[in-house]
């Protein structure tokens, strides 16, 4: 079951200590994502992409505005009822558990029996290319291998919604490419709702149905681009390059203008 997500007038101020003045990270963020849609948020570093995902993922409850999942406010939904998978910008594994146990632990905590959890975990370990490393601990893995473990964990839990925060940006391009293909394959089979954050416009164009373009801080979505290209997409498709160019040009002119408007 995929979910519908709606964000209305989202605003986020980070407060520092007792100071009255805070940092306005997000202002007037509005968007809607259809069930089963694959959407990318594209924006420059520091524009508030992770802040949006943290709020939508239920990790940050101090915001103004409304987040609705299938019409129900996030603030009124108990966390254990949310079928959300989250892949963070950096792998967040439990350091005292092996690759296999990091994944089975997540599965058991959502009610999978231990024996089935082991089998499911193994199939996702194989999928991300970590066969043979099941019993390694996070400190025995490279950064990319840790990130692949966290990707396997999120996929294995089979959530309705996947929030992915630049999951492939720390990986080498060859691994990233094969994981992008795998992600699309999983999405094609399951049609989860996916919100994927990136600052790589080629990646956004390759993956998504729609791309939300964000301004610099305070971040807001200033344009939604529909990626009207048939799937499966080829990385050397000239239409992909053309769209990518349009997006980059659009960014340069908009962000340039904003900078001018702020007098920076």
Ligand X SMILES: Nc1ncnc2c1ncn2[C@@H]1O[C@H](COP(=O)(O)OP(=O)(O)OP(=O)(O)O)[C@@H](O)[C@H]1O
3-state secondary structure 2-57: CCCEEEEEEEEEECCCCCCCCEEEEEEEEEEECCCCEEEEECCCCCCHHHHHHHHC
Binding-site size for ligand X (CB under 6 A) equals 14
**Contact with ligand X (CB under 6 A) among 83, 118, 199, 239:** 199
**Quick one: how far is CA 63 from the chain centroid?**
19
> Rule CB under 6 A: is residue 23 a binding residue for ligand X?
yes
Closest CA to 58 of 80, 30, 25: 80
> Could you tell me which stretch among 48-56, 75-83, 98-106, 151-159 binds Mg ion (CB under 5 A)?
48-56
**Contact with Mg ion (CB under 5 A) among 27, 50, 120, 198:** 50
Q: Which is nearer to Mg ion, 30 or 89 (CB)?
A: 89
> Could you tell me which stretch among 43-51, 121-129, 139-147, 201-209 binds ligand X (CB under 6 A)?
43-51
Q: How far is the CB of 25 from Mg ion (least distance, A)?
A: 11
Binding map of ligand X across residues 82-111, x = CB under 6 A, - = no contact: -------x----------------------
Closest CA to 194 of 6, 55, 2, 30: 2
> Could you tell me which stretch among 46-54, 114-122, 200-208, 244-252 binds Mg ion (CB under 5 A)?
46-54
Helix (H, G, I), strand (E, B) or coil at 210: strand
First to last CA, the chain: 46
Partner interacting with residue 57 (select from Mg ion, ligand X, none; CB below 5-8 Å by kind) = none
User: Distances in Å between the alpha carbon of 86 and those of 100, 168, 237?
Assistant: 18, 13, 30
> Rule CB under 6 A: is residue 51 a binding residue for ligand X?
yes
Question: Is-contact 112 143, C-beta < 8 A?
Answer: no
Question: Which residues contribute to the site for Mg ion (CB under 5 A)?
Answer: 50
Question: Which residues contribute to the site for ligand X (CB under 6 A)?
Answer: 14, 23, 25, 43, 45-51, 89, 199, 217
């Amino acid at each position: 079951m995929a979910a519908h997500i709606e964000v209305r007038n989202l605003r986020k101020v980070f407060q520092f200590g007792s100071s009255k003045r805070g940092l306005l990270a997000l202002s007037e963020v509005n968007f809607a994502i259809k069930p089963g849609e694959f959407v990318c948020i594209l924006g420059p570093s520091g524009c508030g992409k992770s802040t949006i995902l943290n709020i939508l993922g239920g990790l940050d409850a101090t915001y103004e505005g409304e987040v609705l999942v299938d019409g129900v406010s996030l603030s009124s939904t108990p966390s254990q009822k949310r079928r959300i998978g989250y892949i963070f910008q950096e792998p967040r594994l439990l350091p005292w558990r092996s690759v296999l146990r990091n994944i089975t632990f997540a599965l058991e905590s959502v009610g999978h029996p231990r024996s089935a959890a082991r089998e499911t975990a193994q199939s996702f370990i194989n999928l991300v290319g970590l066969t043979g490393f099941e019993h390694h601990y996070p400190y025995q893995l490279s950064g990319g291998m840790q990130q692949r473990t966290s990707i396997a964990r999120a996929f294995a839990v089979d959530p309705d919604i996947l929030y992915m925060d630049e999951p492939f940006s720390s990986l080498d391009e060859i691994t990233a490419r094969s994981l992008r293909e795998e992600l699309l394959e999983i999405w094609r089979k399951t049609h989860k709702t996916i919100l994927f954050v990136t600052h790589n416009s080629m990646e956004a164009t390759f993956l998504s149905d729609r791309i939300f373009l964000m301004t610099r801080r305070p971040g807001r979505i200033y344009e939604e681009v529909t990626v009207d290209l048939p799937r499966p997409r080829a990385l050397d498709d000239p239409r992909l390059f053309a769209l990518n160019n349009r997006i980059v040009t659009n960014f340069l002119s908009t962000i340039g203008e904003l900078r001018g408007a702020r007098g920076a």
